[in-house]
């Protein structure tokens, strides 16, 4: 047998250093492409707004973070971020909590399954953005409509995923719990639900992408603050030097949330990964 | 029927089980006294586990009756404990919490929390007796197969069931661990006097462990003729009392043991060797059979302990 390849083939085993280099490579390439393109545009037109240079973006971002808004006296990035995170958290937490309860009950109680599964499956096929006008009409343009949009966008998916996870808990465990004297509720909430919690975190991690999408969409259409509102507001002035840092900031927050949730699963539910492996 | 039901810890009478057109169990009759360690063997797919699930209440018979201490069998509850080959333990709890849960699941979460100390102490005592104390804070997945099964047995026993049901509990273990677990179970059984219903496909294990063995098989003939096209459900084709010998595994090599093994293998496991239902070896004193119309024949007095239901 030949020496193991570092990168190529099925049996490649990249060293830790190489792994870091490989992970960084696409980012570096992307950055270089951007810088070259930006430079080319600036040589052609020093006032180009489409691809602002790094320095320009840092300056605008500094402005957003350090200088209070002339009209309101607020630090814009901070107020936008807080407003957006509040909506996102409310929608996602409600959906996670509701999805967990409904999903686990649907998974174990045939009656509830018969009652709710077709409805939830139907609901999950409704494009949330298509009913956004309905939400604005019925809930007004305040916070409620935005939170409801996020909720409706991720709740059916979380519910269905939790439902599937609950049905995958071996029948043996349910019977076992019954022979140990558990009641029906005991089986659901003391035996099955604790086993599903890490799965819930995984589902929430996957739902965060769509949740951000719905948030930005709702803010873009009707809002007075928030990250999505700001991006769509400055679009009118082609202020790419604001839009790009905002997008990076949103991406960074999404990435951090994902990472934190993953860490939480690993710390809190050490048995979970082992089960998956 | 009621009277007889009270005399036995477990009474199964006229039990049939079929799924759609496929008959799995056909007219199972058996009676088990308190304190027996019954083993059930049979060729694969003969319905051993189905029988166990019926006793457990996880499934219902298509017809017939099951009683535990004279009480008709209902949905799974604390009357019966269960140890499976897999999935017996809750993967998200440590060994200790798994065993504690055996005691606390029947209580409200609040009572369970308040009295947790007592339960932990009792569980630790149990784990010590089972030589598992040092693993108390590990997750089940960190334990070897044999140890996992020991924890599962401890968990089931702490539920204090009237009958302990075991579904091929040692089936996934390597031979050495398996033998060790057999001795462990025997020791436990001798000390507790518990009724155990032990399903296995390993004939040697069944003969070694049991104080009584049931052989379940679909290889037999009856009044319906002996054509292969007749789909027969499994019946109890043999029911022996087993002489308990001091728990040494050397027994397995002795001639008497080997002869019995051969005889059971012929009666239950050989599709070519078809006994007529009236030749079944049901010599155990508790053995009985109810005869349904058309099933028996004129020779019914050949049968040992024939029991006709009034």
Shortest distance between the Cα of A270 and any Cα of chain B, in A, equals 8
- Is the pLDDT higher at B54 or at B130? B54
Q: What is the pLDDT of residue B298?
A: 38
Q: What is the pLDDT of residue B3?
A: 66
Shortest distance between the Cα of A264 and any Cα of chain B, in A, equals 15
Confidence of residue B302 (pLDDT cuts 50, 70, 90): very low
Shortest distance between the Cα of A181 and any Cα of chain B, in A, equals 4
Quick one: which of B142, B160, B55 has its CA closest to B99?
A: B160
CB neighbours of residue A141 within 10 Å:
15
Q: What is the pLDDT of residue B265?
A: 79
Torsion angle of the four alpha carbons B264, B270, B271, B273, in this order, in degrees rounded to the nearest 10: -80
How far apart are alpha carbons B15 and B10 in whole angstroms?
A: 13
- Flag whether residue B56 sits within 8 Å of chain A, measured between CB atoms: yes
Each residue's pLDDT tens digit, B87-110: 889 999 999 999 998 888 888 888
Give the B window 282-301 contacts with A, CB below 8 Å. Answer: none
Region B266-288: mean pLDDT is 72
Contact (Cβ atoms closer than 8 angstroms) between residue B95 and residue B127: yes
Torsion angle of the four alpha carbons A29, A33, A36, A42, in this order, in degrees rounded to the nearest 10: -140
Name the 3-class secondary structure at B221: strand
Beta strands B80-83; B163-167: pairing state: parallel
Q: What is the pLDDT of residue A142?
A: 87
Q: What is the pLDDT of residue A137?
A: 92
User: Which among B56, B78, B87 has the least Cβ separation from residue A181?
Assistant: B78
Q: DSSP letters of chain A?
A: --PPPSSSSTT----HHHHHHHHHHHHHHHHHHHHHHHHHHHHH-TT--SS--HHHHHHHHHHHHHSPPTTT---HHHHHHHHHHHHHHHHHHHHHHHHHHHHHHHHH-HHHHHHHHHHHHHHHHS-GGGGHHHHHHHH-SSHHHHHHHHHHHHHHHHHHHHHHHHHTS-HHHHHHHHHTT--HHHIIIIIIHHHHHHHHHHHHHHHHHHHHHHHHHHHHHS-SSSHHHHHHHHGGGT-HHHHHHHHHHHHHHHHHHHHHHHHHHHHH-HHHHHHH-
Question: Which residues of chain A make contact with B56, given a CB cutoff of 8 A?
Answer: 175, 179
Region B43-54: mean pLDDT is 87
Interface touch A179/B92, C-beta < 8 Å: no
Interface touch A179/B78, C-beta < 8 Å: yes
User: Which among B78, B84, B141 has the least Cβ separation from residue A172?
Assistant: B84
Interface touch B86/A177, C-beta < 8 Å: no
- Flag whether residue B12 sits within 8 Å of chain A, measured between CB atoms: no
User: Which among A178, A194, A195 has the least Cβ separation from residue B75?
Assistant: A178
Q: What is the pLDDT of residue B305?
A: 45
How far apart are alpha carbons B119 and A264 in whole angstroms?
A: 29
Region B20-49: mean pLDDT is 86
Quick one: which of A32, A49, A29 has its CA closest to A241?
A: A49
Q: Kindly report the three-state secondary structure assignment for every residue of B52-103.
A: HHHHHCCCCCCEEEEEECCEECCCCCCCEEEECCCCCCCCCCCHHHHHHHHH
Question: Which residues of chain A make contact with B106, given a CB cutoff of 8 A?
Answer: 180-182
Owner of token pair 């965060």: A208
Closest CA in chain B for residue A277: B141
Region B150-173: mean pLDDT is 89
Owner of token pair 């009683």: B67
**Does the pLDDT value for residue B300 go beyond 80?**
no
Question: Which residues of chain A make contact with B82, given a CB cutoff of 8 A?
Answer: 172, 175-176, 179
Interface touch B58/A175, C-beta < 8 Å: yes
Shortest distance between the Cα of A117 and any Cα of chain B, in A, equals 24
Each residue's pLDDT tens digit, B105-153: 888 888 888 999 999 998 898 888 888 889 999 999 999 888 899 899 8
Percent of chain B residues past pLDDT 70, beyond the cut: 83
Interface touch B78/A274, C-beta < 8 Å: no
- Is the pLDDT higher at A266 or at B288? A266
Give the mutation candidate from B91, B159, B197 for the A interface (greatest A CB count, under 10 A): B91
Give the mutation candidate from A166, A170, A179, A183 for the B interface (greatest B CB count, under 10 A): A179
Q: What is the pLDDT of residue A218?
A: 93
How far apart are alpha carbons B77 and A176 in whole angstroms?
A: 9
CA-CA-CA-CA torsion sign (A85, A87, A91, A93) = positive
Interface touch B105/A181, C-beta < 8 Å: yes
Contact (Cβ atoms closer than 8 angstroms) between residue A268 and residue B92: no
Interface touch A275/B80, C-beta < 8 Å: no
ipTM reported for the complex, 2 dp: 0.84
Q: What is the pLDDT of residue B20?
A: 85
Interface touch B58/A186, C-beta < 8 Å: no
Mean pLDDT of chain A: 91
- φ, ψ of residue A25 in degrees (nearest 5): -55, -50
CB neighbours of residue A28 within 10 Å:
10
- How confident is the prediction along chain A (277 residues), in pLDDT tens digits per residue? 566 788 888 888 889 999 999 999 999 999 999 999 999 999 998 888 888 888 888 888 888 888 888 887 888 889 999 999 999 999 999 999 999 999 999 999 999 999 999 999 999 999 999 999 999 999 988 899 999 999 999 999 999 999 999 999 999 999 999 999 999 999 999 999 999 999 999 999 999 999 999 999 999 988 888 999 999 998 888 888 889 999 999 999 999 999 999 999 999 998 887 544 3
Q: Provide the CA B107 distance to its chain's centre, in angstroms.
A: 28
Closest CA in chain B for residue A175: B76
Question: Which one-letter DSSP state was computed for residue B302?
Answer: G
Closest CA in chain B for residue A169: B87
pTM of this structure: 0.85
- Flag whether residue B84 sits within 8 Å of chain A, measured between CB atoms: yes
Q: What is the pLDDT of residue A121?
A: 94
Interface touch B92/A270, C-beta < 8 Å: no
What would the two tokens of residue A96 be? 């996670």
Q: What is the pLDDT of residue A189?
A: 94
How far apart are alpha carbons B46 and B201 in whole angstroms?
A: 10
- φ, ψ of residue B302 in degrees (nearest 5): -70, -20
How far apart are alpha carbons B99 and B131 in whole angstroms?
A: 14
B20: left (phi over 0), alpha (psi -120 to 50) or beta: left
Each residue's pLDDT tens digit, B192-236: 888 999 999 888 888 888 888 888 887 777 766 666 666 777 888
**Cβ-based interface (< 8 Å): residues of A facing B:** 170-173, 175-182, 186, 190-191, 194-195, 269-272, 274-275
Q: What is the pLDDT of residue B292?
A: 56
Each residue's pLDDT tens digit, B227-270: 666 677 788 877 878 776 555 667 777 777 788 778 777 777 77
Contact (Cβ atoms closer than 8 angstroms) between residue B135 and residue B143: yes
Interface touch A179/B75, C-beta < 8 Å: no
Q: What is the pLDDT of residue B54?
A: 92
How far apart are alpha carbons B171 and B166 in whole angstroms?
A: 11
User: Which among B80, B92, B101 has the least Cβ separation from residue A195?
Assistant: B92
- Flag whether residue B95 sits within 8 Å of chain A, measured between CB atoms: no
**Does the pLDDT value for residue B58 go beyond 60?**
yes
Closest CA in chain A for residue B85: A172
Confidence of residue B299 (pLDDT cuts 50, 70, 90): very low
Shortest distance between the Cα of A173 and any Cα of chain B, in A, equals 6
What would the two tokens of residue A274 be? 């082992």
Interface touch A274/B156, C-beta < 8 Å: no
């Amino acid at each position: 047998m030949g020496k193991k390849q570092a990168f190529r083939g099925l049996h490649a085993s990249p060293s830790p250093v190489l792994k870091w280099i490989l992970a960084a490579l696409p980012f570096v390439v992307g950055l270089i492409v951007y810088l070259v393109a930006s430079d080319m545009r600036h040589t052609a037109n020093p006032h180009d707004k489409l691809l602002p240079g790094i320095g320009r973006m840092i300056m605008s971002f500094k402005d957003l973070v350090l200088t209070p808004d002339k009209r309101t006296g607020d630090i814009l990035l901070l107020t936008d971020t807080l407003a957006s995170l509040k909506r996102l958290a409310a929608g996602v937490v409600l959906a996670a909590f509701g999805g967990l309860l409904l999903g686990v009950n649907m998974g174990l109680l045939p009656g509830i399954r018969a009652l709710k599964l077709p409805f939830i499956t139907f609901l999950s096929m409704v494009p949330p953005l298509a009913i956004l006008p309905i939400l604005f009409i019925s809930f007004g343009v305040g916070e409620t409509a935005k939170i409801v949009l996020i909720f409706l966008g991720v709740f059916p998916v979380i519910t269905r995923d939790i439902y599937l996870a609950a049905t995958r808990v071996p029948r043996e465990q349910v019977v076992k719990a019954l022979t140990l004297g558990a009641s029906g509720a005991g089986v659901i909430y003391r035996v099955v639900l604790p086993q599903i919690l890490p799965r819930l975190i995984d589902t929430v991690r996957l739902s965060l992408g769509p949740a951000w999408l719905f948030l930005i969409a709702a803010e873009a259409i009707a809002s007075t603050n928030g990250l999505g509102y700001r991006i769509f507001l400055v679009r009118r002035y082609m202020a790419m030097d604001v839009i790009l840092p905002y997008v990076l900031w949103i991406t960074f927050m999404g990435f951090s949330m994902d990472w934190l949730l993953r860490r939480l699963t690993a710390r809190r539910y050490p048995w979970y990964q082992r089960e998956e492996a | 029927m009621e009277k007889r039901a009270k005399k036995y810890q477990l009474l199964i009478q006229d039990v049939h089980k079929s799924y759609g057109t496929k008959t799995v169990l056909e007219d199972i009759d058996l009676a088990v006294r308190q304190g027996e360690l019954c083993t059930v063997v049979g060729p694969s797919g003969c319905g051993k586990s189905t029988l166990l699930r019926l006793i457990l209440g996880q499934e219902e018979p298509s017809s017939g009756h099951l009683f535990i201490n004279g009480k008709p069998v209902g949905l799974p509850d604390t009357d019966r404990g269960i140890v499976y080959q897999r999935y017996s333990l809750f993967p998200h709890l440590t060994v200790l919490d798994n065993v504690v849960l055996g005691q606390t699941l029947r209580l409200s979460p609040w009572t369970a929390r308040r009295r947790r100390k007592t339960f932990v102490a009792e569980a630790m005592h149990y784990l010590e007796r089972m030589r598992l104390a040092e693993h108390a804070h590990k997750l089940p997945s960190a334990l070897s197969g044999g140890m996992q099964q020991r924890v599962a047995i401890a968990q089931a026993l702490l539920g204090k069931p009237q009958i302990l049901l075991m579904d091929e509990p040692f089936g996934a273990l390597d031979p050495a661990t398996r033998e060790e677990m057999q001795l462990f179970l025997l020791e436990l059984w001798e000390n507790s006097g518990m009724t155990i219903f032990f399903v296995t496909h390993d004939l040697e294990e069944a003969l070694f462990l049991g104080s009584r063995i049931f052989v379940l098989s679909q290889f037999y003939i009856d009044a319906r003729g002996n054509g292969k096209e007749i789909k027969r459900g499994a019946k109890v084709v043999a029911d022996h009392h087993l002489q308990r010998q001091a728990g040494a595994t050397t027994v397995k090599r002795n001639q008497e043991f080997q002869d019995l093994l051969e005889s059971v293998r012929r009666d239950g496991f050989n599709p070519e060797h078809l006994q007529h239902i009236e030749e079944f070896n049901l010599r155990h004193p508790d053995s009985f059979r109810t005869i349904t119309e058309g099933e028996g024949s004129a020779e019914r007095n050949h049968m040992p302990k024939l029991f006709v239901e009034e």
